[in-house]
Amino acid sequence: MKVFLSVDLEGVSGIVHATETRPDGYDYARARALMTAEANAAIAGVLDAEPAAEVLVADAHGPFRNLLPEELDRRAHLVRGKPRPLGMLGGLEADTDAALFIGYHARAGSGPAVLAHTMSGDVLDVRVAGRSLGETGLNAAMAGHLGVPVVLLSGDDVACAELRDLVPSARTLAVKQALGQTATVAPHPEEAQERLRRAAREAVARRSEVAPLALPGPLDVEADLLNPTALDLAELVPGVTRTGGRTVAFTAADTAEAYRLVLLLVQLATIRPA
């Protein structure tokens, strides 16, 4: 059996501010430790349910170099660094039996939610077939395209609701309750980790009850970008057209094509004029 974990940072219990999530920020070292501890709790839960499982963990936050390799459960393998195919899902393959999203956050514009955004602060919204999708939805759809069900998401209560709306049979665990963009109510980190271990164990044991998220193509995709330069650059991409002051659009043959083009737009959104 193969299980894939995509681990982000903003949704980890105890994390409330962007400065905690950046390598040059206040308390980043502590945040990395908490992120690694939640990853380990999920790994332990997976292996409680399936002791012989092959577990692959993708560092899926920012530079993709946050999890502490020497502190990660030695029974798992780590996907680390960027750029890489499939971004936050780097390493995910079609023969994977289940995916878990750990430490995830809500999409841009869904607040009050803790550190809500979609891929980048320069992306205001992504709509697929008219439906706004954040990282949870985009990643779940890409996993579903490969035939892999997302059986668990942990994060704040708003992020959990996002996955349940898309995949009602998936399990979610709110390790904190959002009070706003930078405020939460959360249990002690060790309590959150214990709950996460139990949730991962139960989610993997019940994986057969969760179907992969399917978005049949072709898919009409729109993205609202904050940076005007990104809009200018996006028009250079074949098939991408500017449809509004902040909006670009394209039609993708399937979810994989849509996902890759969105990742490209995210990178373009970070470029500033020389």
Residues annotated as part of the active site: 117
171 touches 45 (CB < 8 A): no
Q: Residue 147: which of 53, 39, 264, 255 has the closest Cα?
A: 255
Could you give the C-alpha distances from 151 to 144, 145, 241, in angstroms and in order?
A: 11, 15, 36
Q: Residue 168: which of 154, 193, 150, 184 has the closest Cα?
A: 150
How far apart CA 242 and CA 14 sit, in angstroms, is 40
Beta-carbon contacts of 34 under 8 Å, excluding residues fewer than 6 positions away, are 12, 13, 14, 15, 189
Which pair of structure tokens corresponds to residue 79?
């996907």
Give residue 262's identity as a one-letter amino acid code.
V
Which pair of structure tokens corresponds to residue 144?
């579903």
CA atoms within 13 A on the CB side of 242: 13
Could you give the C-alpha distances from 72 to 4, 68, 202, in angstroms and in order?
A: 15, 6, 21
80 touches 65 (CB < 8 A): yes
Around Cβ 208, how many Cβ atoms within 10 Å? 10
